[in-house]
């Protein structure tokens, strides 16, 4: 079944015209035919199911037969990722969407090798990839991608997840499960939001570690071996998603 992204699907809508970018993908790439079953995602938990009603060069009309709205996850996961080199960052972004990450904050860490010249253009590129990954995986929640920023800028803005974890090569560390258990014991409930910090290939500097610990970051370990950044992010998101049961797909 083909999936398409249409923001702000009206309730009880019976017909949907695909946005321009989706028309090209549907008509020219997928070559959909009248009667093909389709699923429409709005990125905010809404799903429409139906069939292709008509196909033209500049317009694709869908007939919607059923709508569903999913409740938000009980805990939102935010990935604060030091920017990796092009292919690694794009692959990491796809895995993040597949694993239910709600927000990606690209960090310009001191040791980040990749430093985009145009942060706005890069953000737009990553946002488009996040939409494609959501359609491919069936994630009903669109991952927000922020503009690249330094760790200091992120700390200075103040708004932070309830529980902040940092994948650390420094000792001592604890497992992600233990960190979540400690939060539950202290608060009497699970966290409503979790932030996950992943450093660059050369790791965060001592000063960056100190700054993150200063705002409550809890060091966690991901096993006995040194992981590439995309492996570390994928492993940590998978562990957290399993513990928090946040992944939603259709």
Does 134 lie in the same domain as 23? no
CATH at residue 80: 3.40.1280.10
Is 86 domain-assigned? Answer: yes
Does 153 lie in the same domain as 38? no
Secondary structure letter of residue 137 according to DSSP: H
Token representation of residue 94: 């796809």
Token representation of residue 156: 């200075």
Q: Where are the beta strands (DSSP E) in the chain?
A: 2-5, 15-17, 37-41, 46-55, 60-69, 76-82, 103-107, 144-145, 163-167, 193-198, 218-220
**What's the pTM value of the predicted model, to 2 decimals?**
0.91
167, 200 contact by CB (below 8 A): no
Supply the range of the domain harboring residue 32.
Answer: 2-69
Does 10 lie in the same domain as 91? no
Secondary structure letter of residue 14 according to DSSP: -
Is 250 domain-assigned? Answer: no
Q: Residue-wise pLDDT tens for the chain (250 aa)?
A: 899 999 988 888 999 999 998 999 999 899 999 999 999 999 999 999 999 999 998 899 999 999 999 999 999 999 999 999 878 999 999 999 999 999 999 999 999 988 888 999 999 999 999 999 999 999 999 999 999 999 999 999 988 999 999 999 877 899 999 999 999 999 999 999 999 999 998 899 999 999 999 999 999 999 888 899 999 999 999 999 999 874 444 4
81, 218 contact by CB (below 8 A): no
Does 60 lie in the same domain as 82? no
* Structural domain total, the chain: 2
Does 110 lie in the same domain as 42? no
């Amino acid at each position: 079944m083909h999936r398409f992204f249409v923001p702000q699907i009206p309730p009880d809508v019976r017909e949907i015209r695909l946005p321009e970018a989706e028309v090209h993908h549907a008509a020219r790439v997928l070559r959909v035919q009248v009667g093909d079953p389709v699923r429409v995602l709005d990125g905010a938990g809404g799903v429409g199911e139906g069939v292709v009603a008509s196909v033209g060069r500049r317009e694709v009309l869908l007939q919607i037969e059923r709508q569903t709205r999913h409740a938000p996850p009980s805990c939102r996961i935010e990935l604060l990722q030091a920017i990796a080199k092009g292919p690694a960052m794009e692959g990491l972004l796809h895995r993040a969407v597949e694993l239910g990450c709600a927000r990606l904050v690209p960090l310009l860490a001191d040791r980040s090798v990749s430093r985009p010249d145009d942060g706005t253009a890069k953000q737009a590129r990553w946002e488009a990839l996040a939409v494609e990954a959501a359609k491919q995986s069936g994630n009903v929640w669109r991952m927000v991608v922020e503009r690249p920023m330094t760790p200091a800028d992120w700390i200075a803005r103040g708004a932070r997840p309830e529980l902040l974890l940092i994948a650390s090569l420094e000792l001592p560390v604890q497992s992600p499960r233990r960190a979540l258990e400690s939060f539950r014991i202290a608060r009497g409930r699970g966290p409503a939001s979790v932030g996950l910090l992943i450093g660059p290939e050369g790791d965060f500097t001592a000063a960056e570690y100190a700054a993150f610990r200063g705002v409550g970051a809890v060091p966690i370990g991901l096993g006995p071996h040194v992981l590439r950044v995309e492996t570390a992010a994928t492993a940590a998101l998978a562990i957290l998603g399993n513990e928090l049961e946040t992944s939603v797909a259709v």
